[in-house]
Chain A
Amino acid sequence: MMPSFCLAGTLMMALFFSSLRPESLDPCVEVDPNISYQCMDQNLHKIPNNIPSSVKHLDLSFNPLKILGSHSFSNFPELKLLDLSRCEIETIEDKAYQDLHQLTTLILTGNPIQSLSRGSFSGLANLQNLVAVEIELASLDNLPIGHLITLKTLNVAHNFIRSSKLPEYFSNLTDLDHLDLSNNYIQTIYYTDFQTLRENPQLNLSLELSLNPIDFIQPGAFQGVRLHELTLRSNFNSTNVMKTCIQNLDGLQVHRLILGEFKNERRVERLDRSVMEGLCKVTINEFRFTYADEFSNDITDFECLANVSTMSLVNVYLRQLEHIPKYFKWETLTVIRCELKHFPPLENPFLKRLIFITNKGATSFAEMNLPSLTFLDLSRNGMSFRRCCSYSDLGTRSLKHLDLSFNGVIRINANFMGLEELEYLDFQHSTLKKATVFSMFLPLEKLLYLDISHTNTKIDFNGIFFGLTSLNTLKMAGNSFKDNTLSNVFTNTTNLTFLDISNCQLQKVSWGVFDTLHRLELLNMSHNNLLLLDSFHYNQLHSLKTLDCSFNHIETSKGMMQHFPKSLAFLNLTNNSIACTCEHQNFLQWVKDQRLFLVNTEQMMCATPVEMKGSLVLDFRNATCYIQKTIIGASVVSVLAVSTIAFLVYKFYFHLILIAGCKKYSRGESVYDAFVIYSSHDEDWVRNELVKNLEEGVPPFQLCLHYRDFIPGVAIAANIIQEGFHKSRKVIVVVSRHFIQSRWCIFEYEIAQTWQFLSSHSGIIFIVLEKVEKSLLKQQVELYRLLSRNTYLEWEDNALGRHIFWRRLKKALLDGRAWDPDGVAETENNQQEATTSI
C-alpha cells in the first residue's frame, strides 16, 4: 500500500511540474517585440498563451504539439508566418487555422500527418505559401487546399506521392505559380495528369519534378501544356529511359527547361545526340543543362536547341565549344564549371550575353568575333590575356559590361578603342600589366563602374583615370601608389560617388586630391598607414556621407575638425592608434562629442601612452589634463613673479637700500661721500660721467671735486686735506696716463694713502679710465703694486660695461655709508670685498 501511495504522489508532482514549466516560464524569444517570436525546440506541448495577439511571425518548430485542435491560433489573428516544422503533428483538426486571415506562409515540414480533414485549412483567406515537405503525404488529392485561391507556392517535396496528376482543385488555384513535387515516388506521367493545365491555360506554373524515379512518360503527356519552368534533374535511371522520356515531352511549351543531374545523384551514364533530339518537338526559350559527365564533343548535338534564346551549361563535360553553328540563335550563353580543352574563340552573330566563368582548361584568352555582344563575363577562369582590350580582341562595338576579374595576367596594350559603350568594367584580383603607362581608360566616357582592386597596380602616373568623366564607382583597393602618397589622380573623375582606396599602403595624401569630387558620397580609406586625420583634405567633398578611416595608424587629428563636410553622417575611426594624451585632448573631446556621427566609438581603443593602452577612448578623462594645466600655469606664474621681483630688486636695488637705510642714514662727520682724485685731462669724463651718474642717480652721492668744492684762497694742499680727505668717506682715484704724469695727482694719491693709514676707516676706490702702459705705471711703484694686488674698476665705454661699472662703483661707495658704531668694522670688511672681489 505504502509504495503505491508514494508512486501516486510522485506522479502527481511530476505531472504538476511538467505541466507548469512551459506556462510559468516564458520559453519564447522575443525577436521583434510584439511582432516576431521564436519558440523553437522548447518542449512545448501546446501553443503558449502568453504571446501577444499582435504577433506576425511565430516559430513553434521542434515542439511536440502532436495535435492541432480547431481554432488553435485564434489568439493570433494578425499572424503572417507560422512555422510548425517538426512538431510531431499527426492530426490537424477542422478549422485548426480558422481566424488566420492574414496568414501568408504556413510551414508544416517534417510532420507525420496522418489525418487531415476537409476543413483542416479552412479560414486561410490569404495563404500564399504552403510548405508541406516531408509530411508523409501519399497523394495531392489528400491535401484539402482547393479553396486556397490565393496560393502561389505549393511545396510538397520529399513525400510519398506516386502520381503527378494534378487534382481538379488546381483549376481554382489561379495564382499558383510554383509547384514542387521533387523527391517523391512519381514513376509514370500520363496524359491525364496535366489535364487541369490544359483546361486552364492562364496558369503559368513552374513545375519541379527532380529526384523522382521517372521511367515512363506517356507519349503526348505534355501535349498542349504550357509551363513557365520544368525541372527534371536526376530523374532517369539510364540513357535509354531518358531518351524515351524526353522524346515524349513533345508538344510542351516551356519558357525554361532544366535538365541534367545532381553531383551526387548520377544515373545516366551517357548523354548524346539522340537524347537531345527529343527536344526538337518542345518549344523552349531557355535551356539549362547541368551535370552531364559524358557529353559528346560536338556542339551540333544541341541542334534541336538552336532556337533557344538562353543556353546554360553547368558542369557539362564539353571539351570544345568553338564551332557553334552560325544559325544557332542563342542570345545568352552561360558556361560554368565546364571541362573545356581551351578557351573557345567564339564567332556568332546573335550572341548578346556571354557568361563564361570558373571553367577549367581555359588558360589563355583567344580573340572572339561576337558583333552583337553587350555583356561579357569571363571571370574566375584563371585565364591570361596577352592583349587587352580593344574592338579587335572581342569583335564587338556594343559591349556595355565587361568582367575579367579573378583571372591571371592581363596585359594592357590598347585603350579600349572601339569599346566606347562600356558602362561596367571589372578587373579585380587579376594582375594588370602596363596599366599605368598611358591613360588606358581615355575613350570610356560612358563608364559608370570600374573595379581594379587587388590588381597589383602601382600608380605612378596621374593620368591613369583620364577620360572617365561619367564614372560613379571606382574600386581600387589593394593596390599601391608611388611613395605611398595618394596623388592627384582624380582630377577628371568628377562624377564619382563611391571611391574605395583601402589597403593601398597609403601614408600621405597630397593636397587637393579630393577637391574635384563634389559628388562623392562614400570614401573608403581603411587599412592604410595614415598617421593623421586631416579634415582639410575632405572639406571640398560637399556630398560625402560616409568616410571610413578605420584600420590605419591615426593618432590624432590635424586642423579644425569643423572642416568636415556638413553632409557627413558616418565616420569610422575604429582600429587606429589613437594617442590618449592631454596633448590631443581637443581631438579626444571631439570624438566624445561626435559619438552619434562616429561609427562604433565605444570600440575605439587607445594605443598610446603605454598605461592607457587597451582602454577605451571614451574613458579618457579631460579632468586629468586640467590638473596638469593648473600645475603648469601656477608654476609659470610663480616663476614669472619671482623673476619680476628679482628684476625689480636688481633694478631698484639702490632705491631699496635707500628706503631701508634712510632713517639710519647720515654721512656722520663727512660732508662728501667721496673725494675724487683725477687729472685735469680727465675732467670731461669726471664731469659728464662720474658727476652725472653719482650725484644725479639713486642714491645721490655727494662728491668732492676740486673745481667745485675747494675753497678759493686756501692752499691747494690744505684744500686737499681739509675739504678732500677730512670731509669725505672715500677716495676715488681715476687712474689714467695723465694721472700718472700729473704731479698733483700723485701727491693727492700719496696723501690719500697716508690719510687712509691714519684714519683707518676710509677706502680708496681705483678707477682705471684707460689702459696705462706698464713702464709708465712702474714709475709709481706703490700704485703699481696696489693695482696689481687689488681689484679696481675699469671703465668700459659700452652699455653693459657701463652698467656693471656704475653698479660696482655705487655698491663700493654705499658700503659703510649707513653706519652705526658697530657697523664700522663691517664697513671696512665690505669695502675690502668691494675692492677685492669680482
Chain B
Amino acid sequence: MNRVAAALLVWTLTSPSSSGRGDAWPVHMACSSGGLEVLYQSCDPLQDFGLSIDQCSKQIPPQLNIRFGIILREDIRELFLDIALVSRGSSILNFSYPICEEDLPKFSFCGRRKGEQIYYAGPVNNLGIDVPQGEYQVLLELYNENRATVACANATVISS
C-alpha cells in the first residue's frame, strides 16, 4: 500500500502541473441530441477550454445558445474568429469574422485581459441551416489583434 502511495506521490510531484501538455487534449462533447453530435478537441497546445451547445438539432436555429468558458492567455482588445469547414477532405467554407473591435465592442467580454476568466452564455448568430447527413470537420480559431491564438478547436459534427 505504501509502495503504491510512494509511486503516486513521485508521479504527482514530477509530472508537469498542467497534465496533458505535450499530449493531445481530451475530446469533449459539446452536444448530442436531435440527430446531431458535436465533438471538439482543443488544438491550442497551451490550453483546453469548455464549450457546450444548448438545444442541439439538425436544423440549426438562427439563434443558437452556447456556453463557453476559458482562461485567457492573451488580451482580447480585438478578437477574430476563423472557421474552416471540411467534409471528406475537401474544404467547403472558409469564414473570418470580427468578434471584438476596439471601438465600441459588441460583446461584454471584449477587452478582457490575459489571465482573466471568461464565461460566455448567450446566442451565436448564424444563418440557420439544416445540416445534411454526414460527418464534417470544423476548424475554429480565435485570435487577437497580434494574431496570437486565443482558442483553437478541431470539431467534428456528425449528422445522422
A15-B14 Cα distance, complex, nearest whole Å: 8
Determine if A6 and B113 form an interchain contact, defined as CB atoms under 8 angstroms apart.
no
Chain B CB within 8 A of A567 CB = no
Q: Are B17 and A43 in contact (CB under 8 A)?
A: yes
A217 CB → nearest B CB, Å: 21
Q: Which of B1-26 contact A (CB under 8 A)?
A: 2-3, 5-7, 9-10, 13-14, 16-18
Give the Cβ gap from A186 to chain B, nearest Cβ, in Å: 15
A14 touches which of B13, B18, B71, B123 (Cβ 8 Å)? B13
Q: Does B115 contact A109, Cβ atoms closer than 8 Å?
A: yes
A85 and chain B: residue at smallest CB distance: B115
Any chain A CB within 8 A of the CB of B92? Answer: no
Binds A, one of B83-91, B102-110, B128-136, B138-146: B102-110
**A259-314 contacts to B (CB < 8 Å):** 262-265, 288, 290-291, 312, 314
Instruction: Check A263 against B113 for contact (C-beta < 8 Å).
Output: no
Whether the pair A263, B107 counts as a contact (CB closer than 8 A) is yes
Task: Give chain B nearest CB distance to A42 CB in angstroms.
Answer: 10
- Tell me the bound Cα distance from A622 to B157 in angstroms: 56
Q: Is A546 an interface position by the 8 A CB rule?
A: no
Q: Are A86 and B71 in contact (CB under 8 A)?
A: yes
Residue A134 lies at the interface, judged by CB distance under 8 Å to chain B? yes
**Contacting A6 at CB < 8 Å: which of B2, B14, B18, B112?**
B2
Residues of A within 8 A of B14 (CB): 14, 17-18
B10 with A107: CB separation less than 8 A: no
Q: Which residue of A lies closest to B1 (CB)?
A: A3
Q: Contact: B115 with A86, CB < 8 Å?
A: yes
With a cutoff of 8 Å between Cβ atoms, the chain A residues found around residue B71 in the complex are: 86, 110
**B27 within 8 Å of A (CB atoms):** no
Alpha-carbon gap, A158 to B16, bound state (A): 30
Q: Which of A26-64 contact B (CB under 8 A)?
A: 40-41, 43, 61-62, 64
Pair B115/A3 contact, Cβ less than 8 Å: no
A11 lies within 8 A of B46 (CB) = no
A14 CB contacts on chain B under 8 angstroms: 9-10, 13-14
Give the chain B neighbours of A288 by CB distance below 8 A: 104
Q: How far is the CA of A131 from the CA of B109 in the complex (A)?
A: 16
Within 8 A of B (CB), among A509-558: none
Tally of contact residues, A, Cβ under 8 A: 46
Option from B2, B18, B108 in Cβ contact (under 8 Å) with A3: B2
- The reply to whether A64 and B113 form a contact with Cβ atoms under 8 Å apart is no
- Residues of chain A within 8 A of B5, CB atoms compared: 7
Within 8 A of B (CB), among A226-274: 233-234, 258, 262-265
Shortest CB–CB separation between residue B50 and chain A, in angstroms? 17
Pick the residue among B6, B9, B46, B108 that contacts A211 (CB under 8 A).
B108
Q: Is the CB of B16 within 8 A of A43?
A: yes
Interface hits, A323-344 → B, CB 8 Å: 336
A4 sits at the interface (CB 8 A) = yes
Inter-subunit contact A11/B106 (CB<8 Å): no
B10 touches A10 (CB 8 A): yes
Interface flag for B122 (CB, 8 Å): yes
Are A10 and B9 in touch, CB under 8 angstroms? yes
Inter-subunit contact B107/A6 (CB<8 Å): no
**CB-defined contacts of B73 to chain A, threshold 8 Å:** 40, 62
Q: Which residues of chain A come closer than 8 Å to B2, judged between CB atoms? A: 3-4, 6-7
Chain A nearest Cβ from B2, distance in angstroms:
4
A110 touching B115, Cβ below 8 Å: yes
Instruction: Choose among A13, A43, A158 the residue that contacts B116 (Cβ–Cβ < 8 A).
Output: A158
Contact of A133 with B by CB under 8 A = yes
A43–B115 Cα gap in the complex (Å)? 15
Interface membership of B120, Cβ < 8 A: yes
Residues 630-674 of A at the B interface (beta carbon under 8 Å)? none
- B115 contacts across to A, CB distance below 8 A: 61-62, 85-86, 107, 109-111, 133-134
Do residues B17 and A64 form an inter-chain contact, with CB atoms below 8 A? yes
Q: Is the C-beta of A503 less than 8 angstroms from some C-beta in chain B?
A: no
- Residues on B with C-beta less than 8 A from A61 are 114-115
B123 touches A264 (CB 8 A): yes
Q: Assuming the A-B contacts A11-B6, A64-B17, are A263 and B106 also in contact, with contact meaning beta carbons closer than 8 angstroms in the complex?
A: yes
Picked from A6, A107, A290, the residue with its CB within 8 Å of the CB of B104 is A290
From the candidates B3, B18, B107, name the one contacting A41 in the complex (CB within 8 A).
Answer: B18
Most chain B CB neighbours (cut-off 10 Å) among A43, A133, A264: A264
B59 at the interface (CB under 8 A from A): no
Query: When the two chains form their complex, are residues B108 and A262 in contact, meaning their CB atoms are under 8 A apart?
Result: yes
* 25 A/B residue pairs, CB under 8 Å, sorted by A: A3-B2, A7-B9, A11-B9, A13-B10, A14-B13, A17-B13, A18-B13, A40-B73, A43-B17, A61-B114, A61-B115, A85-B115, A86-B115, A110-B115, A134-B113, A134-B117, A158-B116, A211-B108, A234-B108, A258-B104, A264-B109, A264-B120, A288-B104, A312-B104, A314-B104
Q: Give the interface of A toward B (CB within 8 A).
A: 3-4, 6-7, 10-11, 13-15, 17-18, 40-41, 43, 61-62, 64, 83, 85-86, 107, 109-111, 131, 133-134, 155, 158, 183, 210-211, 233-234, 258, 262-265, 288, 290-291, 312, 314-315, 336
In the A-B complex, the 7 residue pairs with the closest CB atoms: A85-B115, A110-B115, A109-B115, A3-B2, A264-B122, A86-B115, A262-B108
